């Protein structure tokens, strides 16, 4: 069996969450191959329509790269976009991520490390267990083949979603959405960040490009992606400052009043109190220190967001 990491749900719990746990155990060695696998029924149907019956078929799939392979950590890792259809789900677009000898060392695996896709897969399961909206995993498998560590992670495409970063570019040029819509977005994002941190989830890379939004004008849904670097934080406070500082410095579309509105929602407060004031002060100091020159923080909204002002 795969050894557990601190934030990984037990295998029995994963079966309850997904309801489609096919196998996640070591298969007997065959031609110097060992493999671990997780398969949903949805992927089984989509794969059957294209004749993708096993790991090798997916590994050899020639569909071009959606993003050029990342060559580091002593190996490579790349992403492709793929479409298939089944009678149950109809046409579905997915992202097929493949990697070889692309590992990350953790405190539980300091020497050999684990594949970065395994880490991402377990983080996705962790967030789903906490009911925090993220990507839907359809398939995960990893194997050792002739000494090479290979992994595949397949997730459903967020069709109809737009990243906060792409929206931000539009907002900077054409202005923000209607006030009610804008406030709803800030409140929902604050709620997701708060729930992550209360559960000791530290995203570690919470940038606007990793927050995806659908139906800005209707039933808004927000998903948090890119969980490869997420980890369990020892304290809520550490996760709070790490993630909110990262987002704060990369969201120039937020005015001072927007940042305060977000922070109040995050803290579950309607008015500024000592806790809100202390967090505000530290986030402002972090922004000033990391920006170097305060002029680096662009104005938006009439070209506007500066370092948070002192709260009286």
- pLDDT for the residue 107: 72
List the chain residues with pLDDT less than 50: 1-32, 293-307, 312
Triad 280, 285, 286: Cα angle to 5°: 100
Residue 276 is part of a domain; what is its CATH number?
1.10.510.10
190 and 229 inside one domain: yes
Indicate whether 217 belongs to any domain: yes
| Model pTM score | 0.83
152 and 185 inside one domain: no
- pLDDT for the residue 292: 59
- pLDDT for the residue 192: 98
**Tens-place pLDDT, residues 7-36:** 444 444 444 434 443 444 433 333 445 678
Place of tokens 């078929």: 57
- pLDDT for the residue 311: 58
Domain count, the chain: 2
Distance (Å, whole) CA 311 – CA 277: 7
Distance (Å, whole) CA 293 – CA 281: 18
Indicate whether 3 belongs to any domain: no
- pLDDT for the residue 185: 97
Distance (Å, whole) CA 80 – CA 100: 15
- pLDDT for the residue 5: 39
Domain that holds residue 215: 161-296
């Amino acid at each position: 069996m795969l050894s557990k990491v601190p934030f990984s749900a037990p295998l029995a719990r994963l079966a309850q969450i997904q309801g489609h746990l096919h196998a996640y155990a070591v298969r007997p060695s065959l031609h110097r191959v060992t493999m671990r696998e997780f398969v949903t029924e949805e992927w089984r149907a989509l794969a059957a329509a294209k004749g993708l019956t096993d790991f090798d078929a997916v590994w050899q799939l020639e569909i071009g790269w959606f993003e050029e392979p990342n060559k580091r950590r002593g190996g490579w890792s790349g992403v492709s976009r793929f479409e298939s259809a089944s009678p149950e789900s109809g046409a579905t677009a997915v992202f097929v991520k493949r990697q070889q000898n692309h590992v990350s060392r953790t405190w539980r695996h300091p020497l050999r490390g684990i594949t970065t896709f395994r880490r991402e897969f377990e983080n996705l399961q962790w967030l789903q267990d906490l009911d925090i909206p993220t990507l839907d995993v359809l398939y995960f498998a990893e194997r050792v083949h002739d000494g090479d560590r290979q992994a595949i992670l397949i997730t459903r495409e967020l069709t109809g979603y737009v990243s906060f970063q792409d929206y931000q570019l539009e907002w900077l040029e054409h202005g923000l959405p209607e006030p009610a819509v804008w406030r709803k977005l800030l409140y929902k994002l604050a709620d997701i960040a708060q729930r992550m941190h209360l559960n000791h989830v530290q995203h570690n890379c919470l940038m606007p490009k990793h927050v995806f939004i659908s139906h800005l004008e209707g039933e808004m849904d927000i998903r948090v992606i890119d969980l490869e670097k997420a980890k369990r934080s020892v304290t809520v406070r550490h996760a709070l400052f790490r993630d909110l500082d990262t987002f704060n410095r990369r969201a120039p579309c937020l005015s001072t009043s927007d940042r305060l509105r977000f922070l109040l929602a995050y803290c579950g407060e309607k008015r500024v109190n000592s806790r809100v004031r202390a967090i505000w002060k530290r986030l402002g100091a972090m922004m000033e220190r990391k920006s170097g020159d305060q002029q680096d923080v662009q104005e938006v909204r009439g070209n506007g967001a500066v370092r948070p002002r002192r709260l009286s």
